Structure formats: structure tokens, C-alpha cells
Amino acid sequence: MVTDTLDRPLRDLRISVTDRCNFRCTYCMPKEQFGSDHDFLPRSSLLDFDEIVRLVRVFADQGVRKIRLTGGEPLVRAELERLVEGIAAVDGIEDIALTTNGSLLSSKRARTLADAGLDRITVSLDAFDDAVFMAINDVGFPVGKVLDGIANADAAGLNVKINTVVQRGVNEDQILPLAGCFRGSGHVLRFIEFMDVGTTNGWRLDDVVSAREIRDRIDAVWPLESLEPNYPGEVARRWRYRDGTGEIGVIASVTQPFCRSCTRARLSAEGALYTCLFAGVGTDLRGLLRSDVDDARLAEEVRSIWTRRDDRYSELRSSETVIRPKVEMSYIGG
Ligand code: SAM
Ligand code: SF4
Ligand code: SF4
């Protein structure tokens, strides 16, 4: 097991399979920066599935147990099922999850993903009201179709969670409608504080609705009680509806950072390794992969990067760090 300078093991790997997306969420890929003339990665720059599976094997040997596929929108990558199948066959990998905007989650796709070995799916949904949702995704995509995607994933036997990023003055009025929608559905809805990832979304601390406020707003209507974490280091704080209609999670990435238990590495679609969501630079692994090195050499590189890791951006967040150059979330993977 490899540990970093703060004694954190390497347990989770988030893999961005593409930097492209069919949405233009205003807080993630604003149209002004991600317009029709935007230079997305060319196909030859992307890691192919064999390369990704090889890296997963190397990471699994270093202690990684959980894989999350993300992006961009991972379901725009053709034949993603083949990748899931490859990863599922790697010794040591215990859990494969996918984060998606849900727009391409047909019942067939959900079934083939589950058959390939996907365990869990997280569907992002930032509003229950169509007008609010369409203003956020900025491509006119309706809520109903995301709800269909969620139902398809559920029918395919996948464990489904819903993620909602809350922004002051944008969708804070959607907290209760979304909570109402998923109460009793069996799906855990998780609210996430809006973060200062990247440099294009114009983040300000004033735009953050704190986890505490989110919890209080729901508790005032549907009383909540605290739940123990499912496992040590779980990032979402869990709350259960006192009337037994399920649970919610609240992720206080800004107001109560959890860097001390952060065991996640991120691999960009072109094979750069990042040890923090807020990193400015990554380490290229594709070059090594495509040269003639063996797995032992790749493992040595991963170990050397992780043992030097001292990231704790959220704990140190200040007006000075917020403006420093950081990689975009659609590139590094959420
Ligand atoms: N396209 C997929 C999706 O939307 O689920 C996967 C990639 S997206 C970058 C992953 C997650 O990051 C989404 O749930 C999105 O809402 C979240 N996200 C993006 N920018 C964020 C920000 N500034 N603060 C908090 N969460 C953010
Ligand atoms: Fe696309 Fe997801 Fe970013 Fe929205 S949050 S623009 S769906 S990558
Ligand atoms: Fe992990 Fe970096 Fe987020 Fe801290 S700020 S929890 S180190 S990804």
C-alpha cells in the first residue's frame, strides 16, 4: 500500500474518459469558453480502452479499489461498456461507478452497462423545474428525460444516487422540490456545495449555499436525523428523514473540507495524473504508456507521484488560492 506525505493511502481512481459533453452547464462548461470553436482533445490524444485498463491494473496493485468513470460526459464515449468490462476483470477492483448527466441513459444503455459490470451510477440533476434546469444545462434539456434515465438505471439493477450542485440565486429554490421528488424513491439525493474548480465559472464564496443551510431548509419541512457514515472517510454527511422516507447526503466541500481523508487520484482523458481536484498541473502517464516501458516502471511512477503528494487545497482555500490557475473539471473529471 502506498501512502502520501499526510499518510493517506491511494484507494480511488477517477477516470475522465472524454473532455466533451452534450450539456453546457453554466458553472462547468460555459458557452463563452466552450463554444463551437473550442479545441477539444483530438481522438489520438485520448487514452484507448486497453491503455486505461492497463493503468487500472497498475493502480490496483498500488491499492486502488474503487473506480469512477466520469468526464465531460462519459456516455458520449462510444462503447464505454467495453471499458467497464475490462476494468471489472482487474484483480482488486471492488467497485465501479459512473457519473453522468443522465441524458443518454436509455434502458438499453443502462442494461448493457450493468451487464458489463458497472455497480453504481450517479446522475447529476440540478433542478426539478424545467425552466431552471434548462437555464443551467444551457442546451434546453428537460428534467423528465433525466428522470427517465434514472428510472432506466434503477430498472437495470444499478445502485443510483442523484447529485445536485447548489448555487446561491440559481437553484437554491430547487432544494425542496428535489428533496420532495426523491423522498421515498429509494435513491439517495446528495447536495454538493458549489466549488471553485477551474477558472471559467466565475466562482465567488457568496455563491455557495452551505451544507448546514441546505440541511436546515430540508429539516424545517421534513425533519431529519443524523446517520453514521457508511465507511470511514465518506465525504457526504448522511441524514435520514425521521418519517422513514429515506436519506439525503450533503457534501460540504467548501465549508467543512475533508482533505485529511482524501484518497482519490484523477486521470484525465489524455492520461495525465492529478492528485487533487484543484491541481494546476498533472503528470503525463500517456508518454510512458506509449513508450516501451513495463508495468513495473509505470507502478514506480505512480508510487513516486503519490508518495510526494501533499495536496489539501480545500483546507487552505483563500482568496489567493482561488485565483491561481487550475485545471477545468470537465477535463480532469468530477
Ligand atoms: N457530465 C457528468 C455529470 O454532469 O454528471 C460527469 C462530469 S461532471 C464534471 C461531474 C460532477 O461535477 C457533476 O455532478 C457536476 O455537477 C459536478 N460539478 C461540476 N462543476 C462543479 C463545481 N464547480 N462545484 C461542484 N460540483 C461541480
Ligand atoms: Fe457536462 Fe457534467 Fe459539466 Fe454539466 S457538469 S457541463 S453535464 S460535464
Ligand atoms: Fe482531495 Fe484536493 Fe478535494 Fe482536498 S481539495 S479533498 S485533497 S481533491
- Nearest-CA residue for ligand 1 atom 22 is 195
Answer yes or no: is the C-beta of 198 below 6 A from any ligand 2 atom: no
pLDDT of residue 199: 74
pLDDT of residue 203: 85
Ligand 3 mean position, distance from CA 148 (Å): 33
- Nearest-CA residue for ligand 2 atom 4 is 25
pLDDT of residue 318: 63
Ligand 2 mean position, distance from CA 308 (Å): 31
Ligand 3 mean position, distance from CA 312 (Å): 5
175-197 pLDDT, tens digit per residue, is 999 999 999 999 999 999 999 88
Q: Which of 75, 99, 125 to mutate to test the pocket of ligand 1 (most atoms within 8 A of CB)?
A: 99
| Environment class of 217 (CB within 10 Å of its CB; exposed 0-12, middle 13-18, buried 19+) | middle
- Nearest-CA residue for ligand 2 atom 3 is 28
Contact 89, 65 (CB under 8 A): no
In 3-state terms, what secondary structure has residue 212?
helix
Ligand sitting nearest the alpha carbon of 280: 3
318-331 pLDDT, tens digit per residue, is 655 666 667 778 77
Ligand 3 mean position, distance from CA 156 (Å): 32
pLDDT < 70 regions, the chain:
318-325, 334
Lining residues, ligand 1, CB within 6 Å: 21, 27-28, 70-71, 73, 99-101, 124, 163, 165, 192, 194-195, 197, 201, 329-330, 334
In 3-state terms, what secondary structure has residue 121?
strand
Answer yes or no: is the C-beta of 197 below 6 A from any ligand 2 atom: no
Answer yes or no: is the C-beta of 74 below 6 A from any ligand 2 atom: no
Q: Which of 21, 122, 143 to mutate to test the pocket of ligand 2 (most atoms within 8 A of CB)?
A: 21
Residue 262 CA: nearest ligand 3 atom is 1
Dihedral through CA 39, CA 42, CA 48, CA 53, nearest 10?
-20
- Other C-beta atoms lying within 10 Å of the C-beta of residue 318: 8
Contact 197, 238 (CB under 8 A): no
Ligand 3 mean position, distance from CA 276 (Å): 5
Q: How far apart are CA 222 and CA 111, in angstroms?
A: 34
pLDDT of residue 6: 97
Ligand 1 mean position, distance from CA 296 (Å): 34
Delineate the domains of the chain, giving CATH numbers in brackets. Answer: 12-161+262-332 (3.20.20.70)
Q: How far apart are CA 175 and CA 244, in angstroms?
A: 19
Q: How far apart are CA 63 and CA 306, in angstroms?
A: 11
pLDDT of residue 218: 98
pLDDT of residue 239: 97
pLDDT of residue 231: 87
pLDDT of residue 273: 97
67-96 pLDDT, tens digit per residue, is 999 999 999 999 999 999 999 999 999 999
H or E stretch at 83: helix 80-88
Q: Which of 100, 164, 329, 331 to mutate to test the pocket of ligand 1 (most atoms within 8 A of CB)?
A: 329
